[in-house]
A and B are shown apart, each in its own frame.
Chain A
């Protein structure tokens, strides 16, 4: 599966990020979410943008220790093998992959195909798209 963002349907509520961090990290903090959505007035225009993991798997290729894997159609991090080298962040073309509190990558595992961010999106701006 893959997430899809429809900017014209986004109202900028950030419930997706709050849900993601709440379920995955046990705290409400958009900085720890596995997706980033921005809805701001810029030069008198409303600009809605999102960074989502599109399963390009460049992070998996870049991983120096094999800690990041694509297994059973989902991204998985084995924390024991991660050495915080940062190669995955640099390889991520969208910048959606970020370090969490301990420096480990905040990996979007797609919530087993039923993502919380989508469940909390009020007006259908976030969708699940089947891919691969």
Chain B
């Protein structure tokens, strides 16, 4: 068999028991792997109303069919669970080497269930799997945790860990691996903390096969030379995501001062050139040919980052334009185990609340000193951090400012202002996990591309198609930064699995996966009422630059949403019709 190992590792923390079982190959055929297959297991195993931080929730680490093969950019791991931030289905991916180690140890997936009554870590060395006491690690930051495990087991082990934020159930706690790679969004780290699982430490020595390995290597090498290492993808190597800062600044969608502006007067400090000037080395994930990571030294900090999302949401959006300060903030978030997007979002919200005199959080835009204190306070729920740890949505419910609480379904906005890229507004509103830039990224074609960003025309279809594309791609699993076609994905998958697979099959799988996520959320009581954007996007015009005077009017948004539902074969409440479900094999 090629691609899959055919085995799932199941870890019952309540009974401290580890078992293995066959991977459900029917599900693998329909949901591919990664995001899709993880969601299918979650959908089947975690019923409606389950508490996200309760023992009945599960934490699923899922690899994909390409994981561990020579297919470039296939090194990421999907982490699927129910989100404590949004109550939705949540999938979040992490780079580095952990996915490949899990696969080489012989497993397609690791499913964590129940809850331990004391801190533990999971040690995986091929078929030797043990839960071990983690009291010496509990309370440590992610970096120190990883260093300590590597001293004990060796540098060639991969570590997935949660930090103090996850231990303290902060709903935007992340999971860290290879020091500077994160599964950031939606609180995967809090779910790990709630189960008292400090870390997964994994080393595999096995291999991954392919049905037709010669053919796969031939196709993959051709793709590597002529489709991956091209001027369309190599920005990830020359610059990495900081390149996007200048794109957003120019097109007026760079979140600034909690989305009050779409460009930032101090942007020179956070643009790509500044990051590149501080760079020590480039770093990629296992099997990556690009190498987007920038390992930098800024002031007294070394860190891999900051990425665009941190530079924008935790930089300009907090009124901070000093790369040294943002790098330090990034490092604190990584160490404490916080999603730098949501952490930046919640701080920016507190800053505006204070400046508007609605509630005094004692922090204002550009206040670097207080800004740098907050990750530690939030992760340990001390002082002001105890409040901010609740996230933007809950803060607004308690103190007001709801119209500028920049979140959807409880997940804080990433770094693109939808008033300057209307399709992005639809993407935020309809992404299963809330305001998310990974389910579809139409900004590339709207704000940064040739399509008119200030119209709803054609956007419903664009967003729908991108959602299917990403759902399939992140299930296989391939990295976002390789802009490859469905045809090429299908050609490589066919050689790997030894059966005929078409681009159409993958597109349909993408649609199936996206609809399954929707069904999970519907089962939790969500629907059209939750597919909304904050009032600021509808009615606060941006004050300058390329987006001067722009909003995404609610009427236009509603029209775009209705068209989207209709194109999807969903009813006016955003529920897939029985015919659509039948066509997707979801009935």
Residues of A within 8 A of B (CB): 8, 11-15, 18-19, 21-23, 25-29, 31-32, 38-46, 48, 119-120, 122-123
Contacts and interface: CB of A to CB of B under 8 A. Distances in A.
B492 to A, nearest CB: 13
Contacts of B282: 11, 123
A48 B291 CA distance: 14
Given A13-B289, A122-B229, 7 more contacts: A11-B282, A18-B287, A28-B69, A28-B207, A28-B210, A29-B104, A122-B72
Interface of B: 68-70, 72, 75, 100, 104, 143, 147, 150, 155-156, 178-180, 205-210, 213, 217, 221, 224, 228-229, 237, 280-291, 293, 295, 302
A13 B285 contact: yes
Contact of B290 (A40, A120, A122): A122
B39 to A, nearest CB: 26
B178 A41 contact: yes
Given A41-B178, A46-B280, A23 B287 contact: no
Contact of B283 (A11, A18, A27): A11
Nearest to A9: B282
Secondary structure dominating the interface of B? loop
B289 A28 contact: no
Contacts of B289: 13, 15, 122
A74 to B, nearest CB: 21
B302 A44 contact: yes
B284 A11 contact: yes
A38 to B, nearest CB: 7
15 contacts: A8-B281, A12-B284, A13-B285, A13-B288, A13-B291, A18-B287, A22-B213, A28-B68, A28-B209, A29-B208, A42-B150, A46-B280, A122-B72, A122-B224, A122-B229
B568 to A, nearest CB: 37
A49 to B, nearest CB: 10
Nearest to B286: A14
Secondary structure dominating the interface of A? mixed
B239 to A, nearest CB: 14
Given A15-B70, A28-B68, A21 B207 contact: yes
A25 to B, nearest CB: 8
A15 B287 contact: yes
A27 B286 contact: no
A21 B289 CA distance: 17
Contacts of A27: 207-209, 213
B311 to A, nearest CB: 21
A12 B283 CA distance: 6
B416 to A, nearest CB: 27
Nearest to B292: A11
A46 B209 contact: no
B217 A29 contact: no
Given A28-B208, A29-B206, A46-B281, A11 B291 contact: yes
B155 A31 contact: no
Contacts of B291: 11-13, 122-123
B284 A13 contact: yes
Given A13-B291, A26-B213, A43-B147, A120 B70 contact: yes
B409 to A, nearest CB: 35
Nearest to A26: B213
A48 B282 CA distance: 11
Closest 9 pairs between A and B when the two form their complex, measured CB to CB: A29-B207, A11-B291, A27-B207, A11-B284, A122-B289, A18-B70, A41-B179, A28-B208, A13-B288
A21 B217 CA distance: 11
B237 A123 contact: yes
A26 B214 CA distance: 8
Contacts of B286: 12-14
Nearest to A45: B302
Nearest to B158: A40
Contacts of B283: 11-12, 39, 46
Contacts of A28: 68-70, 207-210, 213
Given A21-B207, A38-B156, A120 B287 contact: no
A8 B290 CA distance: 15
Nearest to A48: B281
A8 B283 CA distance: 10
A92 to B, nearest CB: 19
Nearest to B68: A28
Contacts of A18: 69-70, 287
A19 B206 contact: no
B457 to A, nearest CB: 40
A75 B151 CA distance: 37
A38 B147 contact: no
B178 to A, nearest CB: 7
B225 to A, nearest CB: 9
Contacts of B155: 38, 40, 42
A119 B228 CA distance: 14
A122 B295 CA distance: 18
A13 B208 contact: no
A15 B72 contact: yes
A22 B282 CA distance: 26
Contacts of B229: 122
B97 to A, nearest CB: 8
A19 B217 contact: yes
A51 to B, nearest CB: 13
A23 B92 CA distance: 33
A83 to B, nearest CB: 25
A15 B150 CA distance: 23
B413 to A, nearest CB: 30
A32 B209 CA distance: 13
A130 to B, nearest CB: 24
Most central of A25, A40, A46 by chain B CB within 10 Å: A46
A18 B68 CA distance: 8
Contacts of A120: 70, 221, 224
Contacts of A48: 281
Most central of B205, B206, B286 by chain A CB within 10 Å: B286
Contacts of B75: 13
Contacts of A122: 72, 224, 228-229, 237, 289-291
A80 B422 CA distance: 69
A19 B284 contact: no
